[in-house]
Amino acid sequence: MRPATLFLALLLAAAPLNSADDYALGVDSQPRADAPRGTVRLGTFSASKVFPGTTREYQVYVPAQYDATKPACLMVFFDGSGMMNATGAYRVPVVFDNLIARKDIPVTIAVGINPGTVPASTAPGAKARSQRSYEYDSLGDANARFLLDELLPEALKGLNVTADPAGRALGGNSSGGIAAFTIAWERPDSFRKVVSHIGSFTNIQGGHRYAGLVRASKSAPKPLRVFLQDGSSDLDNLHGNWPLANHDMAAALKFAGYDYTFAFGTEGHNGKHGGAIFPDTLRWLWRDWQKN
């Protein structure tokens, strides 16, 4: 049995045993004394031409094992403040510290990016406006151009990061999940690994079209590796049904011959399930890194 198939089989076999409260964080999501701690620095970016007038915060995690003479792998996370929160659902810095120390994943720099905000005007009662849905849920290459041409050159300044797309990954939660997929879909020359938790492949900004687009690529699949996660209690609203949309995406990826796996549990639109399996998700995503 292939590693991806085995991983999925074991994960899904365990899923019916778990109630909504059983998605506990494991040891790989807790700080370990034997895992050197990386550093996290904060930045602000307000000079976008792709999304003019916006400002956003970002975080850059650099592992303790980083060697400037060797190109590190890269993983970009959307909704960065939540994903990079060391006491949140996913705890990217903590999990990366532990898995890199055990050589379960390569030495990887992580960049967590918040969606853009248009600052409030000076008019009385004016409020700042978030561009999250516009940037994340929209199809097309705008977010890819923003990331590759504007944000990453600033965030990664002075760091040695691989240009090999097989060593570059994207991840996100909800609208951040479809944002991760969109950039890899548009630019597989730059990113070939995707993690989508409770991805919004619904009709918010046209994301429901992806299953058909994936199926249409069967004769020439894009060189992507995709991890999907969702739960039976996820959203069902005017934009669509999240569990059905993610099942549709998984079926399309299977039909078209992609390297993918789908973890389907019982949770709703939150990070409980995705966070609990996040270390194993990364192991699956980077499972062959030492062979390369």
Query: What's the pLDDT at 21?
Result: 52
Pairing of strands 117-118, 259-265: unpaired
β-partners of residue 60 are 41, 111
CA atoms of 44 and 170, how far apart (whole Å): 20
Task: Give the residue from 244, 173, 179, 239 showing the smallest Cα distance to 203.
Answer: 239
List all residues 6 or more positions away from 263 whose beta carbon is below 8 Å from its beta carbon.
Answer: 8, 11, 12, 15, 227, 228, 229, 230, 273, 277, 281
- Determine phi and psi for 213, rounding to 5 degrees: -65, -40
CATH of 3-118+128-198+264-291, one of 3.40.50.10490, 3.40.50.1820, 2.60.120.650, 3.10.20.30: 3.40.50.1820
Q: What is the DSSP string of 62-78?
A: E-TT--TTSPBEEEEEE
pLDDT tens string 84-128 = 999 999 999 999 999 999 999 999 999 999 999 999 887 887 889
Which amino acid does the sequence have at 290? Q
Pairing of strands 225-231, 259-265: parallel
Q: How many residues does the chain have?
A: 292
Pairing of strands 39-45, 56-62: antiparallel
Residue by residue, pLDDT tens for the chain (292 residues) are 444 444 444 444 334 333 345 899 999 999 999 999 999 999 999 999 999 999 999 999 999 999 999 999 999 999 999 999 999 999 999 999 999 999 999 999 999 999 999 998 878 878 899 999 999 999 999 999 999 999 999 999 999 999 999 999 999 999 999 999 999 999 999 999 999 999 999 999 999 999 999 999 999 999 999 999 999 999 999 999 999 999 999 999 999 999 999 999 999 999 999 999 999 999 999 999 998 7
